[in-house]
Amino acid sequence: MASFFFAITISSSALMASLLLLLALFAVNLRITGAQIGVCYGMMGNNLPSAQEVIELCKANNIVRMRLYDPNQAALEALRNSGIELMLDVPNSDLQSLANPNNAGQWVQTNVLNFYPAVNIKYIAVGNEVKPVGDSTSWMAQYVLPAIQNVYQAIRAKGLQDQIKVSTAIDMTLIGTSYPPSKGSFRSDVRSYLDPIIGYLVYANSPLFANVYPYFSYVGDPNDISLPYALFTAPNVVVWDGSRGYQNLFDAVLDSVHAALDNTGIGYVKVVVSESGWPSDGGFAATYDNARVYLGNLIQHVKGGTPMRPNVAIETYLFGMFDENQKSPEVEKHFGVFYPNKQKKYPFNFGFSAARHWEDDIVTIKNASAPLRSDA
């Protein structure tokens, strides 16, 4: 009889161990595949928490990805061993310097290699929204590709080109045709700037970073774009593009970027949404409720895909971490998902709580298994 109970004990223990392993693997997989949302950490405010407080706030709210607009040393130190994946920007002001290979190598050593892998740097964004024609940033455009290549070569010299991807972030003003999405194309006057960059991205297997704001599309054309279409709340398909139906503006804009890349004929390039958000005050349609609805729906929506790229999760960075009172115009001050006092502005989580619940369930099962073994 004792041997019979001993056999049941071993069998039960083995079954429980197998179950725990499966749950652990599922939780890890859920955390990896579900963690599509990051947050952009801007610092243009005179009332913001310390970098260490910000990283602790991210961890407390299950934010596992971050964009940092410059290599702020306090923030990089605070990110050590946090597990947070980082998109690190080369500021536009550094582009001309990093067009020199020696300067780029030093920048990478100081801001990347001195912190990696304790800081989980995943991307380097070389320049943000540089516009090659008719803009105050246009003079910088000539330096973007050389800076990208030099940073890439410095990363490659350390054998990290598969771990740390180097790219640049564009805005939607570079899109010439966006409707219908399948006809998306870049403006003819920016192709000489973009095509060589796209060629590099294909070579390096790096994504293009795109700042996608349905808010600005809507406020620019509220007569032809409905608010529900911009907020993910349209009850039915709004735009048909052949066999593809678009029920929200985010997908339509993003697919116009996909099409613009494809229509260059250079090669396949993935798109990472490096910014998206909705302001809660300061301008037309900038209300708390609109921002809450847009952001909450965006977090859920990016777990899937777009009509042109179905069933492919969309890595997306919310803009921004805090309301920043030193930005202008007024509407730019109200994009934060947290107030400067670290209080959440909106009730939603950031898409990762399910993984934590499964981890909690594993502990529960472990505790519940003890009586089963002792009974034997």
Instruction: For the chain, give every domain's residue range.
Output: 37-351
Residue pLDDT, tens place only, 125-169: 999 999 999 999 999 999 999 999 999 999 999 999 999 999 999
The chain-wide mean pLDDT, for the chain, equals 88
Select which of 53, 77, 275, 359 is catalytic.
Answer: 275
Report how far apart, in Å, the C-alpha atoms of 320 and of each of 48, 190, 248, 306 are. 13, 28, 21, 23
332 is catalytic: no
- State residue 349's pLDDT score: 86
Q: Which residues pair with 153 in a beta bridge?
A: none
Yes or no: say if 253 and 308 are a contact pair by the CB < 8 Å rule.
no
Whether 53 is a known active-site residue: answer no
In this predicted structure, what is the pLDDT of residue 198? 98
Query: pLDDT at residue 2 above 60?
Result: no
Identified catalytic residue from 56, 77, 129, 315:
129
* Predicted confidence (pLDDT) per residue in 223-272, tens digit: 999 999 999 999 999 999 999 999 999 999 999 999 999 999 999 999 99
What are 27-80's pLDDT values in tens digits?
A: 434 444 445 899 999 999 999 999 999 999 999 999 999 999 999 999 999 999
Candidate CATH numbers 3.40.50.2000, 3.40.50.300, 3.20.20.80, 3.40.50.720; the one for domain 37-351: 3.20.20.80
Confidence of residue 214 (pLDDT cuts 50, 70, 90): very high
